């Protein structure tokens, strides 16, 4: 297996085997399709983030979209366990806040209610069908998997994802290492299969060379249409709100984003379901 997402130093999260990952860290069975309904315990729509790092984005996304399941794939064991522990702690903290406002840190209860209202206002039609059975605190439906991303995505059922997030993947800048890049034609074909009609692929990178490579790979791919990149955070000056993005903003780096919509063809016209 190849490590395809860039890494920060493991010293930044420490070397601990005592992270309490609860049910957030999932162990996938070897071989065969992945049963997402069994993994999450429900049939809600699923979004996936590849390369979660310290989990900043997936935590914020869980708060913004409590009506969807979030699958996080992280190759580095220390980061995967660290993120799973963060998710568990946030879930327990917000669950306690909802049931006992006196234990709520300043602003947390209001932020939870606002995030829940905002998520339902912007929910997809498919997500709304499951709204009645999603009375759970943010981060309740996050699962982390420690594995190679390409291997996991290849095992996902067809049409199982409503959105794929890939932010700041390892650019592997040396020419002899380009084959290790995650986004290659075979991987894009896999994404075509696992994204449902109307599903989105969102990519952000700070590496111009990798951006040009990704744009070339995605050019004229049947079933993927170019769309405007949706903002994933409310923070000023940020696009997606990951740790890497915040770090690179302070360094003055430029960012390059791509967004594609999965569609089907009916009667000679693209159809977004």
Report the distance separating Cα 79 and Cα 15, nearest Å. 10
pLDDT tens digits for 218-242? 999 999 999 999 989 888 889 999 9
10-271: CATH topology is: Rossmann fold (3.40.50)
Residue 252 pLDDT: 95
Residue 124 pLDDT: 38
pLDDT tens digits for 132-168? 444 455 556 899 999 999 999 999 999 999 999 999 9
- Model pTM score: 0.81
User: Does position 259 have pLDDT exceeding 90, yes or no?
Assistant: yes
Stretch among 119-123, 193-197, 220-224 having the lowest mean pLDDT? 119-123
- Percent of the chain beyond pLDDT 90? 64
Catalytic (active-site) positions: 170
Give residue 125's pLDDT band: very low, low, confident or very high (50, 70, 90): very low
């Amino acid at each position: 297996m190849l490590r395809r997402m860039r890494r920060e130093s493991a010293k930044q999260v420490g070397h601990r085997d005592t992270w309490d990952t609860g049910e957030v860290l999932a162990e996938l069975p070897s071989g065969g399709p992945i049963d997402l309904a069994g993994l999450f315990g429900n049939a809600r729509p699923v979004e996936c983030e590849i390369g979660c790092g310290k989990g900043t984005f997936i935590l914020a996304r869980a708060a913004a979209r409590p009506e969807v399941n979030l699958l996080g794939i992280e190759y580095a064991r220390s980061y995967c366990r660290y993120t799973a522990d963060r998710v568990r702690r946030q879930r327990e903290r917000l669950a306690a806040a909802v049931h006992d406002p006196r234990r709520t840190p300043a602003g947390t209860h209001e932020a939870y209610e606002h995030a829940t209202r905002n998520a339902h206002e912007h929910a997809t039609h498919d997500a709304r069908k499951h709204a009645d059975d999603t009375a759970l605190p943010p981060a309740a439906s996050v699962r982390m998997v420690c594995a190679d991303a390409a291997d996991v995505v290849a095992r996902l059922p067809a049409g199982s994802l409503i959105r794929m997030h890939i932010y700041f993947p390892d650019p592997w800048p040396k020419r002899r290492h380009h084959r290790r890049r995650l986004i290659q034609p075979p991987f894009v074909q896999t994404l075509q299969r696992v994204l449902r009609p109307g599903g989105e692929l969102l990519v952000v990178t700070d590496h111009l060379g990798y951006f040009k490579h990704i744009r070339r790979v995605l050019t004229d791919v049947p079933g993927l249409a170019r769309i405007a990149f949706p903002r994933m955070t409310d923070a000023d000056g940020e696009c997606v709100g990951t740790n890497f993005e915040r770090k690179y903003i302070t360094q003055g780096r430029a960012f390059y984003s791509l967004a594609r919509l999965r569609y089907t063809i009916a009667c000679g016209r693209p159809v977004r379901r």
